[in-house]
Structure 1
Amino acid sequence: MQNDWVENFNGLRRLPEDVKALLRSGSVVVRAPKGTCIFASGQTADNLLLLLEGTVKVTQKSESGREVFLYRVHAGESCVLTTACMLAFEDYSAEGTAETDVKAVAIPRATFDDLVGKSPVFREFVFAAYSRRITDLFTLIDDIVFQRMDVRLASRLLELADTRQTVRATHVVLASELGTAREVISRILSEFQRRGWIEQLRGEVKLLDPDGLEHLARASGTHRA
């Protein structure tokens, strides 16, 4: 994987072979088990992480102590907050946690700065990923400000469901995902269950009628595949 990981990222495949070699030699493949704090608020961003396997959840705590979900980093993606912090020489203002066992490439600041300065293709890769995630964050802000919570919850359940149409998350976790109170999530889930859309089990939610949830989510245009 150390020799092949560059090919996992579309934007890096176009790099000249000498730049690919520099990127490989100046980086290291790292692993972290589920639950590991990848970065924390106030910590210095020393490495750009490109995710090879697993997911990392990025959250921020409000002044009241409530945890608010920002976004997920999936395999084949980089973390926009890390990119921003490295470009601006700022410390992290949020926390990233491994939701699963993860494998990633760590590109140290020296290598990152060198390639951003000398390689137009690498620079395009960095800023294209940054631009996509910023657009996602503006969409998140729009959802929080303008969309009803039942619509947002329906959309999030569809996003989180596995191949067996099961969401393994407590009411507290879902509340954190959507930046609201557990009681609000519990009330809406009870309504979804009354409609026959879901079944609530211990620590998970079974989607019985994904089409019903999809209709609610698409009616307000929030569900994005």
Structure 2
Amino acid sequence: MHLSLWKQHFPAFACQNDKVLKQLMDTAALVSLPAGQQVFYPGKTCENYLLLLSGSVKAQIMSADGREVLLYHVRAGDSCVLTTSCLLGDNRYPAEGFTETDVSAFAIPAAVFHRCIEQSAFFREFVFHSFSKRLADVIKRMEALSFGSVDQKLAKALLASKSQTIQKTHHELALDMGSVREVVSRHLKRFESYGWLRLSRGSIVIVDADALKRVLVTVDEH
């Protein structure tokens, strides 16, 4: 049953006196996935409810012009909002997901998930609370991608790292922003010409964080 892992990563599950929940924990399979593996894709049937123990998965969609648009990350302690939605609505995946790092997770079969939703008040509350929180995060991200200038989005993405040196390529940064590499590269070079950044292969060094913070409160008129 991997009780020690449940206690370490999902302690609230381990301390419940709930026969149905215990059956879920007994049934859950421990799965390991390598970095870069596709977890789901548009049209795929959802067969398991996943609870991540370690690693990171990114969910993304392809825009009409072929851009990759990041929806959200699933990290340790999280569940996937698209997986939950597909299981609850008996739908297929509308997007794709890839492991960003090596991933370890509990995989709970769909039939067990549905039985627990019906019979366990604790599990039902856990699933809907997690789903609500994750959905709110996705909506906030979509709002951030839809509104605000490229300069503001770029400044926000750079400052979000909390580090002076950002180990990301222009493509990776564009994916985070829901933009394209060419646009991001052009704005990064402009920021560099202002003395705000220093660019090198695979990394970006923030030279003037205060200037980036000012961009966040300035409406781009160009």
TM-score strictly above 0.5: yes
Bigger mean CA offset, 2-11 vs 38-47: 2-11
1:147 aligns with 2:148: yes
Partners of 1:75 and 1:213 in 2: CA distance: 31
Q: Give matches, 1:185-196, under 5 Å.
A: 185-196=184-195
Residues 1:35 and 1:189: Cα distance change in structure 2 (over 3 Å): same
Quote the residue 1:168 is aligned against: 167
Asked if 1:138 corresponds to 2:149, the answer is no
Contiguous gaps of at least 5 residues in structure 1: 221-225
Q: How many angstroms apart in 2 are the aligned matches of 1:52 and 1:135?
A: 22
Amino acid at match of 1:168: Q
The equivalent residue for 1:223 is none
Report matched runs for 1:59-70 at 5 Å.
59-70=60-71
Partner of 2:105: 104
Change (3 A) 1:4 1:214: farther
CA offset at residue 181 of structure 1? 2.3
Please name the residue that 1:201 is paired with. 200
Tell me the CA shift for residue 17 of structure 1. Answer: 5.0
- Say how many residue pairs are matched: 217
TM-score between both structures, scaled by the size of structure 2? 0.87
8 Å Cα contact 1:14-1:121 kept in structure 2:
no
Range 191-200 or range 178-187, more displaced: 191-200
Q: Conserved in 1, the CA contact under 8 Å of 2:55 and 2:76?
A: yes
Partner of 2:182: 183
Whether 1:126 and 2:122 are equivalent positions in the alignment is: no
* Aligned counterpart, 1:6: 6
**Does 2:39 match 1:27?**
no
Mapped partners of 2:213, 2:23: distance in 1: 46
Higher alpha-carbon Rg? 2
Identity of matched residues, %: 40
Q: How far apart, CA to CA, are the structure 2 residues paired with 1:152 and 1:11?
A: 37
- Which residue identity does 1:177 align to in structure 2? D
State the alpha-carbon separation in 2 of the partners of residues 10 and 63 from structure 1: 43
**Greater displacement, 37-46 / 11-20:** 11-20
What is the RMSD of the two structures over their aligned residues, measured on CA atoms? 2.2
Partners of 1:123 and 1:31 in 2: CA distance: 26
Alpha-carbon distance in 2 for matches of 1:176, 1:50? 25
For 1:158 and 1:104, the matched residues in 2 are separated by 30
TM-score normalised over the length of structure 1? 0.86
| Matched-pair contact (CA < 8 Å) for 1:11–1:125 | no
Displacement of 1:179: 2.0
Identify unmatched segments of 5+ residues in structure 2: none
Residue 59 of structure 1 aligns to which amino acid in structure 2? Q
For residues 150-191 of structure 1, the C-alpha deviation after alignment (integer angstroms, 9 at most, x for no partner) is 2212222233x37x6433322122222222222210122123
The DSSP-based 3-state class of the residue aligned with 1:213 is: helix
Aligned to 2:85: 84
What secondary structure sits across from 2:131 in the alignment?
helix
Residues 6 and 20, structure 1, Cα contact 8 Å, conserved in 2: no
Using the alignment, how far apart are the partners of 2:175 and 2:29 within structure 1?
32
1:115 to 1:178, Cα distance in 2 relative to 1, 3 A:
same
Could you tell me which amino acid in structure 2 is paired with residue 206 of structure 1? Answer: V
Distance 2:12 2:2 in 1: 17
Q: In structure 1, give the amino acid aligned to 2:34.
A: P
Per the TM alignment, residue 215 of structure 1 is displaced from its structure 2 partner at its CA by: 4.8
